[in-house]
Structures are given as C-alpha cells and as structure tokens.
Amino acid sequence: MKNELINLGLELLDQQHFDSLAVGVIDFKNNSFESFEIAATNVVSPKPYLYFDLASLTKPLTNSAVRLKEPGLFDEKNSLLLNHIAGLPSGGLLSKDTWREELLAYDIKLSPTLYSDYSSLRCMLEIEKKSGKKLKDLCSYYFDPEMLHWKELPDGAFSPEYGIRNKHVVSGEVHDNNCYNIGEFISHAGLFATVGGLCRSLLNWNKTIKLNDQLAEAFKSHKNEDRFILGFDHVMDPENTLAGKGATTKTFGHLGFTGTSFWIDLEQQKGSVILTNATQTYWYERSGLTHLRKTLGEAIWRI
C-alpha cells in the first residue's frame, strides 16, 4: 500500500467525528489486494483486525449473490424487489414477531426506484420460499472466514463503536435496529467483516462464479438511468460519485449507512473498499464522510 494513501487516510480521519477507518485496494487481474487500518488511537495496522458493521453492503452480498449463482430463483417480481423498483416503502420499524407477515402483505408492482430495506427483506423471503432453503445457505458460498453474521463474531473480536442503543455503546453488535431486534441472518443488514475478509470475499466471489464477467454482461443491456443493476448500485455520474472521481460508468458496488462501501470498476479491474464507523457520535451530518469517500476513492483509482 502506497504511503501516500495511508497518509491521506490519517489526514481525512483526523477531520471526522468517528475514529476508525480501513481501506482495501483489490487487483482483480492478479487476484490480490492490499489494505491498511487506522484504529481509534490513529495507529496504522498493516494487518487489520477490526470487524466493521457492513450495514447495507449486506444487501448485494446476500441477495445479489443468490441472483448470480441461482438466477432461476428470480422471476420478474423478485427482480423488481432486488432492484428496488417493486413499490415497497423504504422502511420503518418492524415487529420482532410478525415482521414476515408485515412484509408479505405488500403488493409487488413495477414502480419508480425507491431504495428500500423492505424490498431487500421481501426479496429474501421470496427466494427462500421458492428455493426451500435459508438465505445463508444460498449466499455464503464465497464468504471468507472473516466475513460473517454479527451473532457469529469470534470470541475476543474487536469492533469499533457505532453509537448508543438503550444507553449502551453499540460495539460488536449490529447497528440497524430491525436487524438487531429480529436477531436472524437476513438480507438488509447484519454482516460484519475485517477489511481483509471483505476483500478476500470479493476475490472469492469473482473466482467462484465470475462476478465481474456476469456484471459486464449485465451492463450491456442496462439503461444508465436505472440506478440498480442485479441489486448493485452503480456509478451514474463519474464527475460526482461517492465512489470517487476516476471510477468509470462500468463501476458497481454499494454503500452502507455505518460508513462502508465497496466499488468494482470493470474497466480497470480494480476494487475499492472503505470501512468506517461513521455513526459513532451522530449519523445525520454526512458531509465529512462524503468528503472522505470521494477523496479516498479518487486516490485509489489514481494508484
């Protein structure tokens, strides 16, 4: 990892209201990656150990993983759900006991794009019903041991602080309240990973089912005005993207509410992974996180 990227990470983190950052740069041509981590004490670790809450990165890492390996499970309605164009609301508080019934009550119909936790969860329910299998069994074929459900974190695992819930610091447990209350392996949130675990998982994914080749094929018929492609977000405006200037329009990935992201540029065959704990003290001011994402992303594509 170039020292200039580490120094940039230190400079950017010093301007934030959160204290942890991990960065990975993936080379798909050579099936390799480099990474570093800046812990709360601003100590740079070349061998990262923090488990970050991936938040909504969980959506493509689960539902999209099933779509790419088991396309037969995705009829027209499930494809609408996968791409957030099925008419479901964005989200809300779900009941711990009746959340499935609440989600199944919505009609599915082609609608304008509305990014939706509910759509992701309903997609999970539909593919589980159609396959007769649990989501985890369907999607985890490429998971690295250091990417796993929050309830399966190894003893002694370290995680950044993500805020306060019920007067207790959220660390080592999922930040999303619905995911926390449901307590099961679900599709809209709940995966944790070290930066190395996520980078290795993305490389495994590409090696196992040709992730990048499948997305390259999907881009051929994709309309750029449609935000989601096979459940992934993609770069629509290269001059003003959270992936960072320098990413091409053949770049796909996702963002997570806790301050996480991954992007894969098919033209460069390069991946960018940025993990933070941006909700540590407050979540509503995102300008610093936006600057960090864009600045680090631009530096990664430039390397």
Tell me the two tokens of residue 103.
Answer: 């989600």
- Tell me how far apart the alpha carbons of residues 90 and 87 are, in angstroms, rounded to a whole number: 9
Tell me the two tokens of residue 18.
Answer: 């959160």
The residue-averaged pLDDT of 90-108 equals 97
**Superfamily of structural domain 3-69+136-302:** DD-peptidase/beta-lactamase superfamily (3.40.710.10)
Q: Over 70: is that where the pLDDT of 173 sits? A: yes
Local structure of 262: helix, strand or coil: strand
pLDDT of residue 45: 66
The separation between CA 285 and the C-alpha centre of its own chain, rounded to angstroms, equals 20
pLDDT of residue 156: 87
pLDDT of residue 99: 98
The residue-averaged pLDDT of 187-214 equals 98
pLDDT of residue 175: 98
- Tell me how far apart the alpha carbons of residues 249 and 213 are, in angstroms, rounded to a whole number: 15
Cα torsion angle, 216, 222, 224, 229, sign: negative
- Tell me how far apart the alpha carbons of residues 155 and 161 are, in angstroms, rounded to a whole number: 17
The helix-helix angle for 3-13 and 287-302 (nearest 10°) equals: 180
Laid out side by side, the sheet with 147-149 consists of 52-53, 191-193, 147-149
- Tell me how far apart the alpha carbons of residues 180 and 177 are, in angstroms, rounded to a whole number: 5
Instruction: Please provide residue 191's backbone torsions phi and psi, each rounded to the nearest 5 degrees.
Output: -80, 140
CA distances from 181 to 4, 61, 95, 125, 254 (A): 42, 21, 8, 17, 24
Q: Over 70: is that where the pLDDT of 154 sits? A: yes
Q: Over 90: is that where the pLDDT of 224 sits? A: no
| DSSP designation for 22 | E
